[in-house]
């Protein structure tokens, strides 16, 4: 069952508690939040305005619509549910959270089928939210917020808002909301009700489980967990049946913040950035304890799936949140990632309490990496695609050579006072198609949905939401994957705005 005798649970609790000394010792509802949209929104407030309706007492934790207005025609074969997750609520009475990563999670479910669409959104029920609502205030600073009189932590999951991503298994019968420094939260896929923390094994109960697990074409789920300051990665291999096949702990450098990774047919690939976390008694949140180590290399860590033994390869210094798909060509591993010089400045910018400050999303460049595993060398090539993020590819091709990568880009004409992205890109080889939403729009992650009967990547669709801040409303757009530049096939209009979220998954019906 396990190939490591050190119980993951023990190190997870110990390291976390040590690190967290820093934490201190439906339509009717849409009518209820409508007054917020009557305000005139300035460009500098556009991003923050998406969250405001969920901070007030009018929001009771759930939004639901019947059949929504659609412009154009939804493809008949596009049937299923787009689930998205993200921080939504930042205010509790007079208490506020300031960092985007810390808000209470809201999961959105946009159901598509028979040419129709509906929306259901629900604030997730977590122990953190229950404790804080009982106290009438926020109790934990979390990643980057500061609260007065923080409560001491007994376990990582007391801090866990489950607000980054989702993992669907068993054809969508199982759904988990993911954070990255605590457990996965088991959700009912139909009602979005929380069923409690998922323990993949007794040893890993309460241990961190990443926000970016990767799923092999056979349904095997690979994931990892890290805790700032621990110097260790916890690796999970979970069968398509949901049973944990293997867990292992590996000691590695530069694992104080590992947000994403990639898999190939035979390997796991991590990009370990020179970000250092140092716990101090006076820290009020994790971000205060993080420092960038300028000039230190980005380390590509390759683990054989068979042995999980790590090999390290040096790349030029840089930072990373998200990797694209990876694949093998003989003994060479290829992958793309969104490369930043450093991610510190971006993390410090992601605040929801300073809406008037000019904000930039950083200048991440789509960068292609080649790792010669046999020869012990790695190199990278920066492409001409800059100001990009949120890479997504065909989920059927995870770990295999793929052709299309979907990205978001901050277009050159986007108002500098508005934070975020306004353009969707489909990249194929060195060619890119674009769709710019235009003035007034902030695009969220767009993902690739395969055609159910046609295996060609171009036959699938690209879909994702965008928030129109002057009207305070969200639209879901559906594009033909190989004809993005022709504009959306269909646009689903929601009667309200959704909080700008992080990641989503599509579950085909
Ligand atoms: Fe992410």
CA distance 254 to 275: 6
* Confidence (pTM): 0.93
The answer to whether residue 348 scores a pLDDT higher than 90 is no
Query: What's the CA-to-centroid distance between 184 and ligand 1, angstroms?
Result: 15
pLDDT score at 1: 40
Q: Rounded CA gap, 30 and 263, in Å?
A: 41
Q: How far apart are the first and last CA of the chain?
A: 33
Q: Please determine, for residue 38, whether its predicted confidence score (pLDDT) is greater than 70.
A: no
Task: Please name which of 163, 98, 118 lies closest in space to residue 500, comparing C-alpha atoms.
Answer: 163
What is the 192 CA–ligand 1 centroid distance (Å)? Answer: 21
pLDDT tens string 407-457: 999 998 899 889 899 999 999 999 999 999 999 999 999 999 999 999 999
Q: What is the DSSP string of 281-338?
A: TT-SSTGGGEEE-TTPPEEEEEEETTT--EEEEEE-S-EEEEEEEEEEETTEEEEEEE
* CA distance linking residue 488 with residue 251, whole number of Å: 47
d(CA 447, CA 322): 14
**Ligand 1 midpoint to CA 198 (Å):** 20
State residue 39's pLDDT score. 62
pLDDT (tens digit per residue) in 220-253? 999 999 999 999 999 999 999 999 999 999 999 9
DSSP state of 487: -
Residue 374 Cα to ligand 1 middle (Å)? 30
Q: How far is CA 403 from CA 258, 347, 445, in A?
A: 26, 31, 19
At residue 281 the predicted structure's pLDDT band, cuts being 50, 70 and 90, is confident
Which of 398, 404, 411 shows the shortest CA–CA distance to 437? Answer: 411
Q: Where are the domains of the chain?
A: 8-508
In the reported structure, the alpha carbon of residue 320 is separated from the centroid of ligand 1 by a whole-number distance in angstroms of: 10
Ligand 1 centroid to 378 CA: how many Å?
24
Phi, psi angle pair for 38, to nearest 5°: -75, -15
Q: 219 — phi, psi (to 5°)? A: 95, -5
* 8-508 maps to CATH 2.130.10.10: yes
DSSP state of 136: T
Separation of CA 445 and ligand 1 centre (Å): 10
Residue 500 Cα, ligand 1 centroid: separation in angstroms? 13
Classified as helix, coil or strand, 416 is coil
Residues 426, 206: Cα–Cα separation, whole Å:
38
- Alpha carbon of 211 to ligand 1 centroid (Å): 7
Residues 49/50/54/55 CA torsion (nearest 10 deg): -30
Quickly state the pLDDT bin for 353 (edges 50, 70, 90).
Answer: confident
- Give 354's pLDDT tier (boundaries 50, 70, 90): low
102 Cα to the center of ligand 1, angstroms: 14
Buried b (16+ CB within 10 A) or exposed e, 85-103: bbbbbbbbeebbbbbbbbb
What's the pLDDT tens digit per position in 101-137?
999 999 999 999 999 999 999 999 999 999 999 999 9
- pLDDT given at position 355: 53
The whole-angstrom separation of Cα 406 and Cα 492 is 20
Q: Give the containing element (helix H, strand E) for 160.
A: none
Q: What spacing in Å lies between the alpha carbon of 438 and ligand 1's midpoint?
A: 25
Please answer whether residues 326 and 264 qualify as being in contact, where contact means their C-beta atoms are separated by less than 8 angstroms.
Answer: yes
What separation in Å is there between the alpha carbon of 341 and the centre of ligand 1? 18
Collapsing DSSP to helix, strand or coil, 411 comes out as coil
């Amino acid at each position: 069952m396990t190939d490591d005798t050190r119980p993951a649970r023990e190190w997870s609790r110990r390291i976390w508690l040590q690190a967290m000394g820093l934490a201190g010792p439906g339509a009717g509802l849409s009518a209820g939040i409508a007054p917020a949209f009557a305000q005139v929104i300035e460009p500098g407030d556009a991003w923050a305005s998406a969250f405001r309706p969920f901070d007030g007492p009018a929001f009771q934790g759930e939004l639901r619509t019947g059949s929504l207005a659609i412009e154009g025609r939804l493809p008949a074969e596009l049937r299923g549910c787009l689930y998205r997750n993200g921080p939504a609520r930042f205010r509790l009475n007079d208490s506020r959270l300031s960092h985007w990563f810390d808000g209470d999670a809201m999961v959105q479910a946009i159901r598509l089928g028979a040419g129709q669409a509906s929306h259901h959104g629900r604030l997730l029920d977590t122990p953190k939210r229950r404790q804080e609502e009982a106290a009438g205030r926020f109790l934990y600073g979390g990643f980057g917020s500061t609260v007065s009189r923080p409560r001491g932590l007994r376990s990582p999951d007391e801090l866990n808002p489950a607000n980054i991503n989702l993992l669907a298994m068993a054809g969508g019968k199982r759904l988990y909301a993911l954070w990255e420094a605590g457990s996965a939260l088991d959700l009912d896929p139909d009602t979005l009700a929380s069923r409690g923390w998922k323990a993949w094994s007794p040893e890993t109960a309460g241990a961190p489980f990443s926000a970016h697990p990767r799923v092999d074409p056979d349904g095997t789920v690979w994931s990892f967990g890290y805790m700032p300051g621990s110097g260790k990665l916890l690796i999970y291999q979970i069968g398509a049946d949901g049973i944990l096949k293997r867990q292992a702990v590996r000691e590695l450098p530069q694992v104080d913040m590992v947000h994403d990774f990639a898999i190939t047919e035979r390997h796991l690939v991590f990009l370990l950035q020179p970000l250092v976390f140092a716990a101090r008694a006076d820290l009020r949140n994790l971000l205060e304890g993080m420092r960038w180590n300028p000039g230190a290399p980005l380390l590509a860590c390759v683990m054989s799936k068979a042995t999980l033994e790590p090999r390290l390869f040096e790349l030029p210094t840089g930072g990373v949140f998200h990797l694209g798909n990876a694949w093998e060509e003989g003994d060479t591993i290829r992958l793309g990632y969104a490369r930043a010089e450093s991610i510190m400045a971006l993390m410090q910018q992601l605040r929801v309490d300073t809406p008037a400050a000019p904000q930039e999303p950083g200048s991440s460049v789509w960068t292609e990496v080649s790792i010669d595993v046999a020869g012990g060398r790695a190199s990278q090539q920066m492409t001409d695609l800059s100001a990009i993020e949120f890479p997504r590819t065909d989920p059927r091709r995870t770990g295999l050579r793929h052709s299309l990568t979907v990205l978001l880009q901050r277009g050159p004409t986007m108002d500098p006072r508005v934070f975020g992205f306004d353009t969707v890109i489909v990249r194929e080889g060195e060619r890119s198609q674009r769709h710019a939403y235009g003035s007034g729009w902030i695009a969220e992650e767009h993902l690739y949905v395969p055609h159910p009967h046609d295996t060609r990547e171009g036959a699938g669709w690209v879909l994702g939401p965008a928030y129109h801040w002057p009207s305070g409303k969200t639209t879901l757009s559906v594009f033909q994957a190989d004809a993005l530049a022709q504009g959306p096939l269909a646009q689903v209009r929601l009667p309200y705005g959704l909080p700008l979220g992080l990641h989503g998954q599509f579950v085909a019906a």
